[in-house]
Amino acid sequence: MERTLSIIKPDGVAKNVIGEVIKRFETDGIKIAAMKMIHLTKIQAQGFYAVHKERPFFNSLTDFMTSGPIVVMALEGEDVIAKNRKLMGATNFEEAEQGTIRKDYATNIEQNVVHGSDAPETAAFEIGYFFNDLEIQKR
Ligand code: ATP
Ligand code: MG
């Protein structure tokens, strides 16, 4: 069993597709192990995306991620990191496969509806960033 962090970004919440995104996870057999809606501060967004701090889009990305509420979820299942990224589609929605979340709902390369951890180590860091021991079972 693997875990990954999923975020429905401010554009996804604004577009009223929270239920649609969650339905795609559940239809694929993915379990939601923890979930909440929060509104990040700039500092909190910068901490979450610290790996991207040298990238040219860092300031714009962290502004976007603080522009409205987000839904954060810990997803659980076999091979869930790869499964989630397949459901999400490519970062750039124009390159994403038909039927993926980003292909269906993204606005541009930045406002691309969802985030998903890209490896077990980043998943562990990201789940720990948002969920404490009362909110998700240690394993
Ligand atoms: P995420 O980490 O959100 O799951 P990802 O792993 O597909 O997405 P990353 O390369 O980690 O993509 O980039 C993180 C996020 O930064 C992207 O999801 C997108 O919102 C934004 N981003 C990435 N590349 C660009 C870019 N060239 N211009 C603007 N924003 C970008
Ligand atoms: Mg990434």
Tell me: the pLDDT tens digits for 81-136? 999 999 999 999 999 999 999 999 999 999 999 999 999 999 999 999 999 999 99
110 lines ligand 1 (CB under 6 A): yes
Q: What is the DSSP string of 69-100?
A: -EEEEEEEETTHHHHHHHHH--SSGGGSPTTS
pLDDT score recorded for residue 138? 83
115 lines ligand 1 (CB under 6 A): yes
Q: Which helix (H) or strand (E) holds 13?
A: helix 10-14
Flag whether pLDDT at 139 surpasses 90.
no
* DSSP-assigned beta bridge partners for residue 7: 72, 115
With 0.95 as the threshold, say if the pTM is over it: yes
Cβ contact 42:59 at 8 Å: no
- HSE at residue 3, side-chain half, CA atoms within 13 A, is 20
Ligand index nearest the alpha carbon of residue 61: 1
Tokens 């039927």 correspond to: 99
In the residue annotation, 39 being an active-site residue is answered as: no
